[in-house]
């Protein structure tokens, strides 16, 4: 970070001598100029902090995601006050039927969404990069096997399979010792998202590796007697990070969204665990009597996904600035 | 070129066989007993055993798979004596839940999915390319910002949530449209349009978002090409340059992706169909998941895979015509 600070945009303008910058520094400069993206980064950071400190925040506000508050409900099980009983006691109101605090459940729900998003992204990236580099670098038979695996994975209707395999595979996970209920369900979602997601990373990485391995600097390294691992880790990987970051930052919001969709359908997390999808699935029952409940988790979800998408776009623009050139028309 | 087409087709068939093996074995190895499911809770063991034989689940899994494959080409008989019945070719199995051949079930539900997909596809290409072109031609102005915002928000909206909000607001809160209840266009065309307009729009807006961005970036990139420069230098009219050079260049990758997306939808727009209660293949799949109706799941997965693989082959061949280099690799 300190090197970036030295290369502040203003300094560069003042300095008359030409300062050499690595592509990484150029990309970072372009990214920082994008105010919307910086705001989106701040939004994501807020979500992460709030999710990490959910128990602390709940304790400070005196709320709990599981405590039932019957006093906040009327005789019909609906929130007492207007707008889902939004009050000082319950800042975003309470759930109809149970009287659980919505803010507390949102905070804990953020943990689920972010955890699924980050872990699935980590797994898909790791698997995709490893298999993609191996396929592109080794070529031949290994490449053929990995490429056929990607073809096969892409031929399946992934969402249908994810839904269809939920119940049996969750049971199987429980049978091999994953704690029953939501931990098993969460594990399944992460695993199955990774199973279908690595392909996209691997394809991009393989294509890049195929062309990179023919370049002069790789040939130079090889002629100096560099080992395969040296070439892969020191020569190829540093040149692959840009496309990988682009594809990763654009797929992460998709994972968050899919988790919410599955939980909404009753196939992901289940109550009393807090997940935005679960809350949305529950809120549908009260769309007439308590519409506020329908909007709060939905807005939380859309804002997070939107922020990730904006950052993803900005990262891509920063790393591949073709659009920056002057246009003739 | 002919050799290239044959090779692609051959590869597609191999891929589909692989998909069928995986799908069949995956579902067959699930811990559900189709024979027990076929006659409810209060079922005598003898009936289960009889059903097992009647439906062919007494045979080894390899034999079952072989019968499944054979059924696709020559049809398949179930049961013996007076209880015997035949699913004519192409048979994808028999659903004990719905007491019908899977092929005829798909035949009933597929038109709904096709109407939904085609209508949404036309709308989304119009919206996506239209908005994207406006953005590209007004780069940096407010139209561009608005289009970019539309694209970011549209990509971030989870289909189920957007669909629900559209349904609640248009149908229930503001009562602009009646509750969508599907009618075949052949029976009652106005009712068909009334029922489909909302699902079409929801699917179209969500899908159009990413096409807006693709069109915008594709056009901006094309405007940088030398042949556009040449056109300007020659003094061609702006309209001619746009239509003949810019759009043509920008649309090729878009049409490719659109073809793949469309094929994906044909396998069942699961979420949209569920939200709007459209009796299509996607909703049938969801129901099959809930009922553990394995034959239907195998059938819909296979059909969806056929569409995906077919679309890929068509795209490959189209590229082969356009770009000779593709044929060699």
Its pTM stands at: 0.84
Q: Flag whether A296 is in a domain.
A: yes
Task: State the best of B25, B157, B160, B234 to mutate against chain A, taking most chain A CBs within 10 Å.
Answer: B160
Tell me the C-alpha distance between A197 and A254, whole Å.
Answer: 10
Per-domain residue ranges for chain B?
32-91, 104-328
SS3 state of residue B311: helix
How many domains does chain A divide into? 1
Check whether A323 has a pLDDT greater than 50: no
SS3 state of residue A67: coil
**Mean pLDDT of the residues in chain A:** 83
Q: Flag whether A9 is in a domain.
A: no
pLDDT of res. A233: 84
Check whether A32 has a pLDDT greater than 80: yes
Contact assignment for B156 to A284 by CB distance below 8 Å: no
Question: Could you tell me how many residues make up chain B?
Answer: 329
Q: Flag whether A15 is in a domain.
A: no
Domain boundaries, position A184 = 23-31+34-328
Secondary element (H or E) of residue B17: helix B2-28
Both tokens assigned to B280: 């299509």
pLDDT of res. A305: 93
Complex ipTM value: 0.83
Specify the CATH number for the domain of residue A128: 1.10.3720.10
Interface of B with A in 111-150 (CB under 8 A): 137, 139
- B289 in contact with A at a CB cutoff of 8 Å? yes
Nearest to B30 among A168, A287, A323 (CB): A168
Q: Are A92 and A55 in contact, with CB atoms under 8 Å apart? A: no
Contact assignment for B19 to A313 by CB distance below 8 Å: no
pLDDT of res. A321: 59
- B5 in contact with A at a CB cutoff of 8 Å? no
Check whether A66 has a pLDDT greater than 80: no
pLDDT of res. A326: 47
pLDDT of res. A138: 85
Q: Flag whether A136 is in a domain.
A: yes
Check whether A1 has a pLDDT greater than 50: no
CATH 1.10.3720.10 fits B104-328, yes or no: yes
pLDDT of res. A325: 45
CB neighbours (10 Å) of residue A239? 15
Nearest Cα to B96, choosing from B39, B57, B45, B22? B39
pLDDT tens across A265-321, in order? 888 888 777 889 888 888 888 887 788 888 889 999 999 999 999 888 888 888 865
pLDDT tens across B30-43, in order? 766 666 666 666 67
Q: Flag whether A141 is in a domain.
A: yes
Lowest mean pLDDT among A6-10, A49-53, A92-96, A130-134: A6-10
pLDDT of res. B79: 66
Nearest Cα to A116, choosing from A254, A244, A282? A254
Give every residue of chain B whose pLDDT is below 70, as ranges: 31-42, 54-56, 79-84, 322-329
pLDDT of res. A44: 94
pLDDT of res. A126: 93
Residues of A within 8 A of B301 (CB-CB) are 156-157, 160-161, 164
Query: From the CA of B82, how many Å to the nearest CA of chain A?
Result: 34
pLDDT tens across A184-228, in order? 888 999 999 999 999 999 988 998 888 888 888 888 888 888 888
């Amino acid at each position: 970070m300190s090197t970036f600070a030295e290369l502040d945009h203003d300094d560069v303008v003042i300095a008359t001598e030409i300062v050499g910058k690595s592509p990484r520094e150029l990309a970072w400069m372009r990214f920082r100029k994008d105010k919307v993206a910086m705001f989106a980064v701040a939004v994501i950071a807020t979500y992460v902090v709030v999710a990490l400190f959910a128990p602390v925040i709940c304790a400070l506000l005196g709320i709990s995601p599981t405590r039932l508050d019957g006093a906040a409900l009327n005789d019909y099980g609906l929130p007492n006050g207007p707008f889902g009983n939004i009050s000082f006691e319950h800042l975003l109101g309470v759930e109809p039927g149970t009287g659980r605090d919505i803010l507390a459940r949102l905070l804990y729900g953020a943990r689920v969404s972010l955890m699924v998003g980050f872990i699935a992204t980590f797994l898909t990236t790791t698997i995709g990069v490893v298999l993609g580099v191996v396929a592109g670098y080794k070529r031949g038979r290994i490449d053929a096997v990995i490429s056929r695996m990607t073809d096969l994975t892409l031929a399946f209707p992934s969402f249908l399979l994810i839904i269809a395999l939920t119940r049996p595979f969750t049971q199987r996970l429980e049978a091999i010792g994953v704690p029953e209920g939501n931990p098993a369900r969460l594990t399944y979602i992460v695993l199955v998202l990774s199973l279908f997601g690595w392909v996209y990373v691997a394809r991009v990485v393989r294509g890049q590796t195929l062309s990179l391995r023919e370049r002069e600097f790789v040939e130079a390294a090889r002629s100096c007697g560099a080992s395969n691992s040296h070439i892969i880790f020191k020569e190829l990987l540093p040149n692959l990070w840009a496309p990988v970051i682009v594809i990763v930052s654009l797929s992460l919001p998709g994972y968050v969204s899919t988790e919410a969709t599955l939980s909404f359908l009753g196939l992901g997390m289940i109550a009393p665990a807090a997940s935005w999808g679960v809350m949305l699935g529950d809120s549908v029952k009260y769309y007439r009597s308590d519409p506020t409940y329908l909007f709060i988790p939905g807005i939380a979800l859309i804002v997070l996904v939107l922020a990730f998408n904006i950052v993803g776009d900005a990262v891509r623009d920063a790393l591949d600035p073709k659009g920056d050139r002057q246009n003739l028309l | 070129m002919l050799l290239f087409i044959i090779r692609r087709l051959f590869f597609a068939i191999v891929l589909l066989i692989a998909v069928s093996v995986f799908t069949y074995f995956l579902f067959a190895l699930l811990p559900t007993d189709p024979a027990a499911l076929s006659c409810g809770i209060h079922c005598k063991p003898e009936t289960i055993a009889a059903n097992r034989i009647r439906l062919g689940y007494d045979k080894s899994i390899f034999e079952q798979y072989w019968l499944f494959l054979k059924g696709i080409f020559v049809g398949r008989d179930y049961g013996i004596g007076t209880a015997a019945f035949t699913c004519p070719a192409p048979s994808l199995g028999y659903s004990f839940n719905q007491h019908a051949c899977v092929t005829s079930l798909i035949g009933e539900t597929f038109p709904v999915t096709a109407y939904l997909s085609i209508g949404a596809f036309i709308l989304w290409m119009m919206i996506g390319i239209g908005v994207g072109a406006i953005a590209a031609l007004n780069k940096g102005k407010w139209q561009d910002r608005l289009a970019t915002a539309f694209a970011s928000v549209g990509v971030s909206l989870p289909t189920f949530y957007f669909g629900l909000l559209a349904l609640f607001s248009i149908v229930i809160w503001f009562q602009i449209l009646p509750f969508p209840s599907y009618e075949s266009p052949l029976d009652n065309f106005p009712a068909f349009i009334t029922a489909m307009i909302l699902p079409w729009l929801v699917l179209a807006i969500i899908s159009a978002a990413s096409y807006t961005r693709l069109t915008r970036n594709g056009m901006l990139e094309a405007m940088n090409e030398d042949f556009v420069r040449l056109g300007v230098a020659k003094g061609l009219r702006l309209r001619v340059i746009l239509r003949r050079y810019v759009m043509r260049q920008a649309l090729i990758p878009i049409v490719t992706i659109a073809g793949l997306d469309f094929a994906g939808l044909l396998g069942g727009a699961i979420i949209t169909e569920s939200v709007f209660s459209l009796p299509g293949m996607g909703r049938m799949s969801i129901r099959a998941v809930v009922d553990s109706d394995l034959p239907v799941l195998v059938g819909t997965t296979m059909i969806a895979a056929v569409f995906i693989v077919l679309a890929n082959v068509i795209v490959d061949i189209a590229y082969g015509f356009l770009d000779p280099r593709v044929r060699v690799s």
